[in-house]
């Protein structure tokens, strides 16, 4: 699927995806909060500046943008019409970094969950997924 964003829209989109406190992350935080979780954000002392850290539960949650982190969904598999090679290389580096980050956290004894941006659109499924993760199943 080729995307139809203009270069200006794409820049804005990529900036939003890269930025902290993106909407999908806020959605996840709000669900966790309602599930009674206490967490810290973007802890610089953990690999990948982990998005949401729950030390009491030994758990870390990442919220990944589907495009930027190359999810297997439609959005994640879309390729930009311009500068395709540039974006492909950039996304590949992100994927490699993600793999290393998750491996490093797991080695250090953290339980890790990746929530994809597209999963944050179904509040009920998201809540169920986070609850399963929190109880360790």
Instruction: Candidates 13-21, 36-44, 58-66, 100-108: pick the segment binding Zn ion (CB under 5 A).
Output: 58-66
> Which C-beta is closer to Zn ion: that of 46 or that of 66?
66
Q: Is 62 in the site for Zn ion (CB under 5 A)?
A: no
Tokens of residue 21, six digits: 């406190």
Instruction: Candidates 6-14, 53-61, 63-71, 88-96: pick the segment binding Zn ion (CB under 5 A).
Output: 63-71
Least distance (Å) from Zn ion to the CB of residue 53? 23
Q: Is 116 in the site for Zn ion (CB under 5 A)?
A: yes
Q: Work out which of 59, 71, 112, 134 binds Zn ion, going by CB under 5 A.
A: 71
Least distance (Å) from Zn ion to the CB of residue 10? 18
Q: What is the three-state SS of the chain?
A: CECCCCHHHHHHHHHHHHCCCCHHHHHHHHHHHHCCCCCEECCCCCHHHCCEEEHHHCEEEEEECCCCCCCCCHHHHCECCCCHHHHHHHHHHHHHHHHHHHHHHHHCCCEEEEEEHHHHHCHHHHHHHHHHHHHCC
Q: Is 66 in the site for Zn ion (CB under 5 A)?
A: yes
**Cβ–Cβ under 8 Å, residues 15 and 9:** no
Least distance (Å) from Zn ion to the CB of residue 69? 9
Least distance (Å) from Zn ion to the CB of residue 135? 24
């Amino acid at each position: 699927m080729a995307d139809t964003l203009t270069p200006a829209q794409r820049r804005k989109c990529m900036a939003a995806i890269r930025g902290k406190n993106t909407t999908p992350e806020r959605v996840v935080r709000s669900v966790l909060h309602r599930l009674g979780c206490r967490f810290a954000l973007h802890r610089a002392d953990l690999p990948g500046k982990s998005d949401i850290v729950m030390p009491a539960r030994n758990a870390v949650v990442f919220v990944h943008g589907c495009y930027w982190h190359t999810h297997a969904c439609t959005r994640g598999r879309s390729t930009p019409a311009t500068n395709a090679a540039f974006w492909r290389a950039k996304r590949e580096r992100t994927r490699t970094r993600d793999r290393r980050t998750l491996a490093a956290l797991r080695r250090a004894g953290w339980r890790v969950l990746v929530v994809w941006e597209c999963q944050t659109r179904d509040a009920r499924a998201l809540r169920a997924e986070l609850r399963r993760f929190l109880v360790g199943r």
